[in-house]
Amino acid sequence: MIKGLSTAGIGEVKNVEELVLLASENGFGAIDVSGQELRDFIGQKGLEEAKAFLQEHQVKIGSIGLPVEWRHSDEKFREGLSALLNDAKTAAEFGCTSCCTYVLPSTDYNAAHFMALATKRLKLCAQILNEYGINLGLEYVGPHHLRTAWKNPFIWDLKSTLDWIDAIGELNVGLLLDSYHWYTAGESYEDLLALKPAQITHVHLNDAKDVPIDEVLDNDRVYPGEGVIDLAGFLKALNEIGYKGAIVQEILTIEPPSESNKELAEKSGKAFEKVFAAAELN
């Protein structure tokens, strides 16, 4: 498994180059960025040098975000397809094989109708990504307050997401598994053991404050090891089933952090070391 860093949790980062350095200096072997950021990186260095820079610092591109708005109108959706083609092409040039999107647990639309529309749209996204050898990861979102943040309940757990992936029916769709959502959805070690590595496209690692589970806020996360989630168990299970991909930190907070990105990246590196050690994985 490859420890990974995103900008969520380390404050302002100028560009991919800086993120690569912060990752590399603190024991991370992967970063999550957007397709646009990758193109800016190429613009700055040229493709070959950009790749060499990553290679030199032993950092891979873990995942890019899905640049398509699949949650609203057909028009909005269609408008994003060009960006998807571009991002897929760019990601493939870096050997990145994962593109992820999150799924909000409630919606103002009729939930059943929206599920039908979303199924069709993500099916097309998956097929386009597949042309570039990229998998699509769907991240269910567990925190309870979001289940009623919009009018109608949608889905927020592992089981429903797996069934949805089955309904989408494309070979390259899998889970973005986030320890935070696994925890807030009330899921177990055994739920993870039942997965096959091919079902997991990408992983996020975050910790939760010590409040009742149904009061955990999505944007009030803490660094791995600072909270109450059994992250050692989470990591052990993923290792046990043979997951070999990236495990990326994504600390969403209410206020932006006040430390420098150097300090935060160092803190993140130590946090990862601690929980990987607890899982006997260092």
Residues engaged in binding a copy of itself (CB under 8 A): 74, 77-78, 81-82, 85, 89, 107, 110-117, 119-120, 123-124, 127-128, 130-132, 152-155, 160, 163-164, 166-167, 169-171, 196-198, 242, 244
Shortest distance, position 65 Cβ to a copy of itself, whole Å: 20
What is each CA distance from 270 to 30, 129, 239, 267, 273, in whole angstroms?
Answer: 16, 34, 20, 5, 5
Our CA angle for 164, 168, 169, nearest 5°, is 115
Shortest distance, position 188 Cβ to a copy of itself, whole Å: 19
Under DSSP, is residue 222 helix (H, G, I), strand (E, B) or coil?
strand
Q: What are the tokens at 117?
A: 């529309």
Shortest distance, position 132 Cβ to a copy of itself, whole Å: 7
CB proximity list for 166: less than 8 A, separation 6 or greater: none
Q: By C-beta, is 159 or 188 nearer to a copy of itself?
A: 159
Longest Cα separation, the chain? 50
* DSSP conformation letters of 145-178: GGGGSSSEE---SHHHHHHHHHHH--TTEEEEEE
Q: By C-beta, is 160 or 253 nearer to a copy of itself?
A: 160
Q: By C-beta, is 154 or 183 nearer to a copy of itself?
A: 154
Would you tell me how many other CB atoms lie within 10 Å of the CB of residue 9?
A: 24
Shortest distance, position 74 Cβ to a copy of itself, whole Å: 7
Q: By C-beta, is 22 or 122 nearer to a copy of itself?
A: 122
Shortest distance, position 166 Cβ to a copy of itself, whole Å: 5
Shortest distance, position 117 Cβ to a copy of itself, whole Å: 6
Q: By C-beta, is 64 or 264 nearer to a copy of itself?
A: 64
Contact between residue 178 and residue 203 where contact means Cβ atoms under 8 Å apart: yes
Contact between residue 227 and residue 249 where contact means Cβ atoms under 8 Å apart: no
Shortest distance, position 38 Cβ to a copy of itself, whole Å: 17
Q: Which amino acid belongs to residue 122?
A: L
Q: By C-beta, is 46 or 242 nearer to a copy of itself?
A: 242
The span from the CA of 119 to the CA of 173, in Å, is: 11
The span from the CA of 32 to the CA of 16, in Å, is: 9
Q: By C-beta, is 180 or 243 nearer to a copy of itself?
A: 243
